[in-house]
Every structure is written in C-alpha cells, then in structure tokens.
A and B are shown apart, each in its own frame.
Chain A
Amino acid sequence: MKEPRGFGVALIAASLLPAAYAVYGLASDILRGTRVLGSNPIKEGEHFLGEWTLRFLIFTLAITPLRQILKWNWLAKHRRTLGLFAFAYGVMHWLVYIFLDIQLDLQEMVTDVIKRPYILIGSLGLLLMVPLALTSTKRMIARLGGKLWNRLHKLVYVTSVLGVVHFWMSVKADITRPALFAACFVALFGYRIWKWRSQAAPA
C-alpha cells in the first residue's frame, strides 16, 4: 500500500485526541465540578496520560516491524511523530503529577524520588527521552551522523523498560494492565532480537 494522502496530518490529529480529552476532562472536572474523568479526576488524568505515554512508545516501536512486514516503507518517516508524542504525553503525565497531584509540594517530590523507587524509575525513563526529543530534528541527525544518532536512540528501549516497570510497581494488586503493556514490549523486543539473530546467522 502506498501512503494515503494526508496520513501525516491525520496521524498528528489522532495523536492529539487523548491529550485533548485529558485537558478538557481535567479543566471541566476541576473548574466546573463535572465528572468527565470521574470522582477523582486528577488521579484519573494522571494515570490516563501515563498509560498513553506507554502506548505511544509501543506505537513508535511498532513502526519498524510493521514497515518491514507490510513493506510500507513510507511509515518510517512517521516514527518521529509518534516518538515525540510519547515524550509529550510523558511530560504531561509529569506536569499533572507535579502541579495537580502533589501541587508543588517540593518536599514530597524529593522524598518521592528518594524513597519511592517507582517514582525514581519513572523520572529516569522520562529524563532519558529528553535527549531523544532534542535530537529528533533532521539537522541534529545530520550533525550527529546516522551511526551515533542510531546508537543514542537505542535509549528508547531503556525508557520502555523503565516505563513498564514504573507502571507495574505503582499498582496495588491487579497487575493485568501493566502485564498487557509488558507483553506488547516483549513482542516488539522479541521481533528485533529474532531479526538481529537471523541476520547475524551465516547464510
């Protein structure tokens, strides 16, 4: 299949939808007393944006297998869009945590990071996305050179692991959802390992 017309714009528009829903829900629930996100909108919004961060990481990592299996090479250029959305959702998740959840309680933020491993892990995962976002422009790719850029962007695998571990450790008892996310990442990692081994094997 060839690239459908307007695919890039449609992808961006679709990627904005969950964010629009979260922002609308938070604003409406907090300012107007509705229950768009439920009785505890700040927690719900925080979790919603966190899960979408992981979803966009999965979408980003799914581009290469899809491109190779379906031979849709045009998908490659949209990987950056999805990766940047993963970062944006991660930032929004963090903003809700800082401003709405703990409400700039810096002491709590410090103890959270020091004493609660899952928050430290999540923060690390987000921080590791910063260099990836900063080097996502064509100019930065050129400046770094493809090889170095590729190696740097392998950090997305570390972020993915940290993200799922962060989610897994944050739940109280029911690990169904983190396990589903983990399964997606395992499949995407597995594809790459399989591909790498079959290429490395002598013909």
Chain B
Amino acid sequence: MLIGRPVDVKSSEITPESLYVNRREWLASAAAGAVALSVFGPAARAQDPQPVGRPFGLQPDDKPTPWQDVTTYNNFYEFGTDKSDPAQNSKNFKPLPWTITVDGMASKPGKFQLEDFIKPSTVEDRIYRHRCVEAWSMVIPWRGIPLADVIKRAEPLASAKYVAFTTLMDPSRMPGQQLGVLDWPYTEGLRLDEALHPLAFLATGLYGRTLPNQNGAPVRLVVPWKYGFKGIKSIVRMTFTDKQPKTAWNTQTPNEYGFYSNVNPAVDHPRWSQAKERRIGEFLRRPTLPFNGYADQVASLYAGMDLKKNY
C-alpha cells in the first residue's frame, strides 16, 4: 500500500524549467558515468524499480545506488547488527496501522494515524546523497514530505528549541531489541532550526515505492547533511523540548558519536578517518564533502560554532 499518493500533476507543471533541464543533463551524465563505471559498479537488476525524483545537491558523477544495495545493505540494529540482517529479519514486520504521537512543547499535540499525518502534505520524490558514519555512502531516491510541514502543523511553542524522535519499542516485532546493543528504544533529535530546514525530510518511500521494512518503514527521518544514523527509523513519537535530547548512539559511545554528527571530512571518527568515503558500487574512494555536499544550504545553521567540538 502506498502512503500518500503524489498529486496528479505532471512534473513539468511543478518543476521549474531550469531544474528539469538540469535533470536531463544530469540523467545523461549519470548514464555516461554508469557506462564508464560499469566495470566496478554492480548493475541494477532488470526487475528492480528505476530511480525517480529530483536530484538535490548531487555531484556531477553521482548516480543513484541500485535498489538492491539500498535494500540489502542496511544498518537497522532493531533487526540485527549485520548489514544483511535487516532485510532478512524484517520480512514479517507489519508496519501498518501506525500511530505517531506528537507531544511536548507544542500547541497542537496529538496522536495521528500515519496516513492522516502525511496527507496534508504533497508527497515528493527527492534524490539525496547519503553518508554513513562508517565511511560508506549511497545516493538514494526517497519519497516523502518535508519535515518542516509536520512541525509547523504541530505549532511548537516559542520555548521549544529541539525536536526529539523515538523509534517503536517492541522486541517481539523488532528482535534486535532483545539484545542490549543499544539503549532501546532508539532515539534521535535535531535542533528546531535544523528540523525546519527544507532539506530535512520524512521518508515514507524509496524508489517511488512504499518504504521497505529494512529501510525504516513506515516512516523515517532523512537528514542528508548528517551521518546516516541521525536518520531514525520507524518513528512513533516526536517530542518538542527546550533541552538537547538524548540520542541513541551518543548515549552508547559519547566520544564517537555527537549530537550534531554533521558530515565533516575534517573531523575523524576516533577509530577511522572521515576524509574519504567508499560509494557503494565503486572501487576508488571519493573525498567526503563538508556537510555531505549540502554546505551551501546548511552551513549557515552552524555559523560561529566550533564543529570540532560540536561533532
């Protein structure tokens, strides 16, 4: 079942000409790149869906990572700690019906069925770069809505400075939660101005399809300028608060995973360099870009901050 069908308008009517012309050029260069790299990069299988969506902040040689990799190489510890575990162990997970609770410092808190939560917004397909803290990366066509939409609808109070997110806690449905690898349930958070940034996204789909379980069904966060673990999956709660919320990986290993976790090639993880990354499907490593290539759009959020301290 699809959550929130896109409105029935031709993309040419809503996309400015310059953008779709760019997109055509981009598609052509992506195709050329695909041919050049085919000796290294695994090919997409014929039966898999084709990427759809507007590219956001892609580099000229970025091309969407094949569906097969995006859906079988996952970090989703609620379904196991090996990359292949989530696809295996989430097969029988039934995400719907799904309720999201919005609470804390907001004028319009409430409990929502996921469909009602998404429905007021226009669903978009966006192709984003994705950089994992483990120094691998992908390019992923997400489907979803801007996070800012749901935040504005909740009308946070002026005193609210952060929004905290919580994943479903249900060890019977998420067997990974039976192991004490992390302090379950998984939690994440953003500063309110980060959450309101137009790039911050709530994904309910992938490659134009409903979000697969292993990718965080039925709804997950996507913050493309931050390391992937900030993209909390299977969200059941959003809480507005005036205190910096506790986040799962920061609680687990504070010196390795900070609250901000902006992609930053200049700040190493204590156990590995973040200067380069391996794009899934490519042989040679690429240089990692500040804010994962979104610096133009997001660097101003952190003006004056010491990014080495606030890693």
Give me the interface of A with B, judged by CB distance under 8 Å. Answer: 29-35, 38-40, 42-43, 102-103, 105, 108, 111-112, 115-116, 118, 169-170, 172-174, 176
Contacts and interface: CB of A to CB of B under 8 A. Distances in A.
B72 A39 contact: yes
Contacts of A103: 284-285
A34 B136 CA distance: 18
B270 A40 contact: no
B73 A173 contact: no
Given A39-B69, A39-B280, A108-B275, A33 B41 contact: yes
A108 B73 CA distance: 26
Given A38-B73, A38-B83, A112 B43 contact: no
Given A38-B73, A40-B73, A116-B270, A33 B252 contact: no
B68 interface: yes
Nearest to B66: A39
24 contacts: A31-B40, A33-B40, A35-B68, A35-B69, A38-B83, A38-B84, A39-B42, A39-B69, A39-B83, A39-B280, A40-B83, A40-B280, A102-B285, A103-B284, A108-B275, A112-B272, A115-B268, A115-B270, A116-B270, A172-B253, A173-B81, A173-B182, A174-B77, A174-B181
In this complex, the member of B42, B83, B280 whose beta carbon has the largest number of chain A beta carbons within 10 angstroms is: B42
B271 A118 contact: yes
Interface of B is mostly: loop
B273 A108 contact: yes
A109 to B, nearest CB: 10
Contact of B271 (A29, A32, A116, A176): A116
A105 B43 contact: no
A170 to B, nearest CB: 7
Contacts, number: 72
B273 A34 contact: no
Contacts of B278: 40, 42-43
B276 interface: yes
Nearest to A170: B271
Contacts of A34: 42
B107 interface: no
A169 to B, nearest CB: 8
B95 interface: no
Contacts of B273: 108, 111-112
A30 B278 CA distance: 13
A129 B283 CA distance: 30
A39 B65 CA distance: 10
Given A33-B43, A112-B273, 7 more contacts: A30-B40, A39-B68, A39-B280, A103-B285, A111-B268, A115-B270, A173-B182
A29 B268 contact: no
